[in-house]
Structures are given as structure tokens and as C-alpha cells.
Amino acid sequence: MTPTNLRAAFIAELTAVAPDLDPETIGDNDHMQNDLGLDSMDFLNLVSALHKRFGLPIPEADYPQLATTALAVAYLDQALAG
Amino acid sequence: MSIFTMPSLGADMEEGKLVEWLVKPGDKVKKGDIVAVVETQKGAIEIEIFEAGEISALLAEPGQTLPVGAPLARLGAAEEAEVSAAVAAPEPAVEAPKAVVPPTPAPASAARPVPPPALGGAVLASPAARARAAELGTALEAIAGSGPGGAILLSDVERYVPSAPQPAAEPVAEDRPKGKPGLDMTEMRRAIAAAMSRAKREIPHYYLTHEIDLQSAQERLTALNRDRTPDRRLLMGALLVHATVTALAKVPELNGRYEAEPYAPSGPVHCGMAVAMRGGGLIAPAILEAQVKDPDAIMAAMRDIVARTRAGRLRNSEITQGTITISSLGENGVDALIGVIYPPQVALVGFGAPRVRPMVQDGAVQPRLAVTVSLAADHRVSDGRRGALFLAEIDRLLQEPAIP
């Protein structure tokens, strides 16, 4: 999966968890909690959705690597390659 | 046979808009079935029926706004077996008269701001005229008086037609700022204002706070979640809710609804969760029968209720039966939350954001994860000593969280 496709998949799951977010306005460096207003429940739902979609374990220790869209795409890219 | 009516979903609700029927004539229903969706100040609410039977006629159309108590459907006995059950139950007989109780218009006018009385007799008007003008939001200066000395009479106010187009007393639906589908932010803000004003007017609050060491609970949680897939992981919030609900067994008077004298605590814990709406506003639906749920079941219930709150799909029992409320800021909040009780409940528990703080352990200052818990409680029902016992019990339970 290319980074562009990964980004689209990530944004799709993010906006499913937080339907009021406009996919067009989510910046690559927007912080999930501080900028986009996700709470711990939203974030866990996002991680669950990514787990289901990509079959990755995504342990809690890796959560900081999903803090922004840019970080998350890089993380998913690496995890799927490895 | 009985009439199914527009239910009241809180003391502040006067009317609701029927959005959708989930049943049709001829359908058999049992107690607790969801039969309709009604749009209220709290969003779209799924309405449960509290009686078994067969829907014999629908009396209201989707799109209609109806006052509380208005007939929505006629319910006939379904089968012979259910007929006897319905006859045996005492409630159905008294259900029908409720339908004809007219809605009381008083709260609406009372809620409107009353302009201050005119100073120095600048405008002559009878007291009834002043009251009516205030109710209508009409300036007395604009009205021509027909009474003695040009004084404005009640009939003048009633007759008065503003020359300029006057803003409607109620905002027009299409113009209201919309958050979620089926969620009216202006109405929600009004509902919160009504409930919180009532709390501050009627409930003599007292407040306690306590700092709880969460370090060992966090370590247990981390170890537990390491072996679990994301969909089965627990959040600290679920442990906080579980400990709070469990601690109520020790101070049961904090759990209940003060609706009649004398106050009687509730057996079951219907634990309200203050859920912040993205984009503003707040709803506190309850996790029903929380006292029998372990942390995993609490977590599942929280996920479900938060998702349905945001989607605007709560059930009426969830928003009308809460016996205590927990408000939690989550990890990005500030240190403490001192809440306002949600009437007619008698206690509200607030959790600040868990943060690593310097705490003394074994005589040395150490960085530990901690949270400040607060209790706002009704002094008519309990005292600080009992409240303190309750917070201490939450603390004790969180030192040994009930997780595998």
C-alpha cells in the first residue's frame, strides 16, 4: 500500500470515529487529542479500527506514534513492511 | 387498550418531535421495545414502550411536534395470554387519563427574561399589562394606552401588533445552529441551563476533594492491555467508574433520585456518564444496572453509550433514570472538576485529568500517577463525613482494582 493510500485509509477511519471532522481540513501535523479533540475513547476506537483494517497489534506503547496523521502513516507503512 | 403518549424525558421537556415510527399497526410489542424516535433537546431519543400489546393505530405522523402527554399510538391487547397479563397489571388502567392532561405552558413564559419595570412612572400601565408585555417581550413604550391618563391596559397589550417584524419567540427550526443531525445546540444549551439552575436553586451542595494514587492501577492496566487486542483494552476511565459504582455499596444514600419525601435511595445504580459532545454541549446518559458489571462490562457499556450519544441514538430509559452522575475530564483536562448535581440526583462525582505528580511514598517524594476526585453531594441527604467515607472507599478500591 502506498503512503497516499495509507493516508486515505487512516483519514477514513479517523472520520468514522469523529464524523464531524472534515477530511479536507485535517492537517498532517494536527495532533489527535490537542488539535482534533479526540478523547481517550475516540482514540481507542481509532486504534481498534486500524487494528481491524490492517491486522496490526498496535500495542499501547506505540500510541505516541499515532499522534498525528503524518506520524501514523509512517508508522503504519513501517509496521506493514516489517 | 391504552394510549401510548409522548413521554417526558426530563422536567425541562415540554414537547418533542416525532421523527420516525419503528412499528406499524398490527405489530406486537413487549415491554421495553423501541417503538419510535423522538427529537428533543437532548438529540434523537429512542422511545421504549412500557406495556405489552398490539399496536392498533398510530395517532401521530412523523414530523409532528407534540406536547408531552399527547397521544402517539393506540395499544390493544395482543393475545389472550397477554390480555390476562395486561389486565393483571394495575398500571394500564391509569395510563389512559394521562393522555388528556394538557401541557402546562407556564415554564416557557417563566423562562423568558423579564425586562426591568419602567422607572419613575415613565409609562403608565396596569400590573397585568406589564406582566403580559414582559411575557411577550414587547416594550411598553411601543404600545398606545386606552386607559385613564393613557395608561396601558392588558387589552392594549393583547391587541398590540408590532409594526416591525418581531423575532419569533421560538427560533425557527431551519435557522438554528446545528451540531449533529437531530441535535439542536441552542435547545441543548437551554436544557443544560434549566437543569443546572434548578440544581443551584434547590440543592444545598457540599463539596469534598481527594487525591488518589493511580500508579499501581495504571501498572496493572498496562500489563492487562499488553496481552489484549485494541477492541478488548480497558481505559482508566472504566476502572474509575467501576470503583465509584462499587463504593456506593458502602454509602448507599448517595445513589438515588430525590423525587418525593422522604428521600429513598435507589437499589440499582444507574450511573450517568457526562459525555461531552464534540462541538459543545453535554449529555449524561446512564449505564443501567452498573452495580452488577465488572470493569470489562463497564468498559463495553461506556463504549456503547458514548458512541450512541454522539450518533444521537439514546433510549429514554437511559436519559431519565440516572441515580448518580460521573463527570470525567479525561487525560487532556485540568487537575480537578467540581461539579453541579444533576437533579433530582443527589451526588455527582468528578474526576480531573490523571497526571504524574510528586507524591510521598515510604517517606520519599516520588513521581506517581494521581487523580483528584471530587464529590458534590446534596446536604439534605448526606453529610461531609459520609461523603468522605465514600471518596476514601473509591481510593481503597483503586489500590486493588478488580481486574485479572
Interchain CB distance below 8 Å, A41 and B226 = no
Mean pLDDT of B303-331: 87
Question: What are the pLDDT digits (tens) for B88-106?
Answer: 434 433 333 444 444 444 4
Interchain CB distance below 8 Å, A59 and B180 = no
Mean pLDDT of B176-195: 68
- Amino acid in the structure at residue B392: A
pLDDT band of B142, cuts 50, 70, 90? confident
Judged by DSSP in three states, B118 sits in: coil
Q: Which residues of B touch A48 (CB under 8 A)?
A: 229-231
pLDDT of residue B313: 81
Which of A13, A26, A39 to probe the B interface (max B CBs under 10 A)? A39
Q: Which residues of B touch A34 (CB under 8 A)?
A: 332
When mean pLDDT is compared across A67-71, B37-41, B171-175, the lowest value belongs to: B171-175
pLDDT of residue B282: 82
When mean pLDDT is compared across B56-70, B145-159, B177-191, B316-330, the lowest value belongs to: B177-191
Residue among B179, B226, B235 whose CB faces A59 most closely: B226
pLDDT of residue B48: 87
When mean pLDDT is compared across A33-37, B183-187, B190-194, the lowest value belongs to: B183-187
Q: Confirm whether B383 is a catalytic residue.
A: yes
Q: B382 and B251 in contact (C-beta within 8 Å)?
A: yes
In the predicted model, is pLDDT for residue B38 greater than 50? yes
DSSP string, B12-77: T--EEEEEEES--TT-EE-TT-EEEEEEETTEEEEEEPSS-EEEEEE-S-TT-EEETT-EEEEEE-
- Amino acid in the structure at residue B284: A
In the predicted model, is pLDDT for residue B117 greater than 50? no
Among chain A residues, CA nearest to B299 = A41
A64 close contact with B: CB closer than 8 A = no
Q: In Å, what is the CA distance from B297 to each residue of A38, B152, B241, B242, B293?
A: 23, 65, 11, 9, 5
Mean pLDDT value across chain B: 81
DSSP type of residue B102: P
Mean pLDDT of B272-280: 81
| Kind and range of the H or E run holding B315 | strand B314-315
pLDDT of residue B79: 53
pLDDT of residue B108: 39
B281 close contact with A: CB closer than 8 A = no
Kindly provide the b/e burial profile for residues B386-403, where b requires at least 16 CB atoms within 10 angstroms of the residue's own CB.
bbeebbbbbbebbeebeb
CATH class belonging to A3-81: mainly alpha
Q: B236 and B258 in contact (C-beta within 8 Å)?
A: no
Question: What are the pLDDT digits (tens) for B53-74?
Answer: 899 999 998 888 888 888 999 9
pLDDT of residue B271: 97
In the predicted model, is pLDDT for residue B43 greater than 80? no
Tracing cell 386607559 back to the chain, one arrives at B147
Residues in B 296-325 with any Cβ partner in A closer than 8 A: 302-303, 306-307, 310
Task: List CB contacts of B241: < 8 A, sequence separation 6 or more.
Answer: B271, B273, B287, B290, B298, B302, B326
CA distance A33 to B70: 44
Mean pLDDT of A24-43: 90
In the predicted model, is pLDDT for residue B174 greater than 70? no
Among chain A residues, CA nearest to B234 = A44
Cα angle for residues A3, A4, A8 (degrees, 5° grid) = 115
Residue among B225, B276, B306 whose CB faces A60 most closely: B225
CA B36 to chain centre: 19
CA distance B38 to B315: 10
Question: What are the pLDDT digits (tens) for B212-250?
Answer: 999 999 999 999 999 999 999 999 999 999 999 999 999
Please give the domain boundaries of chain B with CATH numbers for all domains.
2-103 (2.40.50.100), 113-159 (4.10.320.10), 185-399 (3.30.559.10)
Burial label for B208, CB within 10 Å (0-12, 13-18, 19+), is middle
